[in-house]
A and B are shown apart, each in its own frame.
Chain A
Amino acid sequence: MAKWSMVIDLDKCVACQGCSIACRFENNTPVVSPEEAALGRSILWNEVFPLRSEGEAAIASAQAKFLTRPCMHCEDPPCIKVCPVGATYKDDEGIVRQNYARCIGCRFCTVACPYGVRYFNWYEPSWEEGMDTHLNPDRVAGRGDLEGPAIRPKGVVEKCTFCIHRHHKAIARAEAEGREFRNSDYTPACVQTCTAKARFFGDFDDPNSTVSRLSQSRRAFRLLDEAGTSPKVIYLHEG
């Protein structure tokens, strides 16, 4: 059983936000109006933002350090512990998933996640004319749960799923082609799109995978390690 993990090399990252956009189209995250975005209601499963400690001055002088942040898919995720209905759960391969059909919108998980990864649908998602006919039709096969790129109803929480539907698609394709599923068959959209090739994805349990080897790097660190969440997204320091 694989343990999916991601490594992000901040040295290579140019903060182009390509991952954010790729994620948006892959997962049908709703677009919000500028007014709502100013209120802090934009939904970006993979957000690229300047680190707070750098301050306004640093941003102005283009010195700010940017961070790109998907869900950490924590080994010990605080979000799952607090969900009263099991709408968010960790599957066998360590991916923290979200079931829109069951979420009651209590927003306990959004409060519990230290990384601000989880987003709430403050209203019915909508797309501009033309956009709405080009949504990603992929769906997660399963118990009829609403997951991944499925259109969310209002009032539920959503988050990065490491493009879980791509995983399912890759398995289905391998099956159709009559071969074994290979770990390299499955890549999330952000990894695929990354301009600077700063993102790596693979099986952490396989000692020869790129992510395993990169995680041994001296530059490797985990975000907010002190929160005790054991993230499966590993960053490589700049410089």
Chain B
Amino acid sequence: MHLDYPDNPLIEFLYWLINTPGLGGIMASVVGGGILLAVGATLRWISKGGQALEPEEFAYPTPALHSHEDTG
């Protein structure tokens, strides 16, 4: 006896989704590409932070940096 799925368009669609060769690759590319984009954007965002007009530079996150954290 095998699993009998009800005749339901949603279930049929889901089955099509998991059973069609190629869709998995698209999904993988979307996930991979999405992560890469997000990472790239984050790195850019961090890098761009350097353009802020702040004269002080900290080699380490010292107390001087932290004491102003809430205002910054």
The chain A residues found within 8 Å of chain B, CB to CB, are 75-76, 84-86, 228-230
Show the binding face of B for A, using Cβ within 8 Å: 1-3, 19-21, 24
Q: How far is the CB of B38 from chain A (nearest CB, A)?
A: 26
11 new A-B contacts, CB < 8 A, other than A75-B2, A86-B21, are A76-B2, A76-B3, A84-B24, A85-B21, A86-B19, A86-B20, A228-B1, A228-B2, A229-B2, A230-B1, A230-B2
B1 CB → nearest A CB, Å? 7
Main SS of chain A's interface residues?
loop
Distance, CA A186 to CA B58, complexed state (A)? 81
> How distant is the Cα of A86 from the Cα of B20 in the complex, in angstroms?
8
- Cα separation A76 to B15 with both chains bound (whole Å): 14
Chain A residues near B24: list those with CB within 8 A: 84
User: Nearest residue in A to B21 (C-beta to C-beta)?
Assistant: A86
Using CB atoms, name the residue of chain A closest to B20: A86
In whole angstroms, how far apart are the Cα atoms of A66 and B19 in the complex? 37
Residues of A within 8 A of B19 (CB): 86
| Contact partners of A230 in chain B: CB under 8 A | 1-2
CB distance from A106 to the nearest CB of B (A): 14
CB-defined A-B contacts under 8 Å, sample of 7? A76-B3, A85-B21, A86-B19, A228-B1, A228-B2, A230-B1, A230-B2
Which A residue sits closest to B24, measured CB to CB? Answer: A84
Rounded to whole angstroms, the CA-CA distance of A228 and B4 in the bound complex is 12
Write the chain B residue with the least CB distance to A230.
B2
- The docked-state distance in angstroms from the alpha carbon of A229 to that of B3 is 10
Closest Cβ–Cβ distance, residue B54 to chain A (whole Å) = 51
Residue numbers in A under 8 Å from B2 (CB-CB): 75-76, 228-230
Bound complex: CA of A229 vs CA of B20, how far in Å?
A: 21
Q: How far is the CB of A221 from chain B (nearest CB, A)?
A: 14
Smallest Cβ-Cβ distance to B22: which chain A residue = A86
A147, chain B: closest CB distance, angstroms: 16
Tell me how far the C-beta of B70 lies from the nearest C-beta in chain A, rounded to whole angstroms: 51
Q: Who on chain A is nearest to B25 by CB?
A: A85
Cα separation A85 to B1 with both chains bound (whole Å): 26
| Complex CA–CA separation, A75 to B2 (angstroms) | 8
Bound state CA distance, A230 and B3, in angstroms? Answer: 10
Q: How far is the CB of A103 from chain B (nearest CB, A)?
A: 12
CB-CB nearest in chain B for A86: B21
Residues on A with C-beta less than 8 A from B1 are: 228, 230
A85 to B19, CA, bound (A): 10
Q: Which residues of B contact A229 (CB under 8 A)?
A: 2
> In the assembled complex, how far is the CB of residue B24 from the closest CB belonging to chain A, in whole angstroms?
7
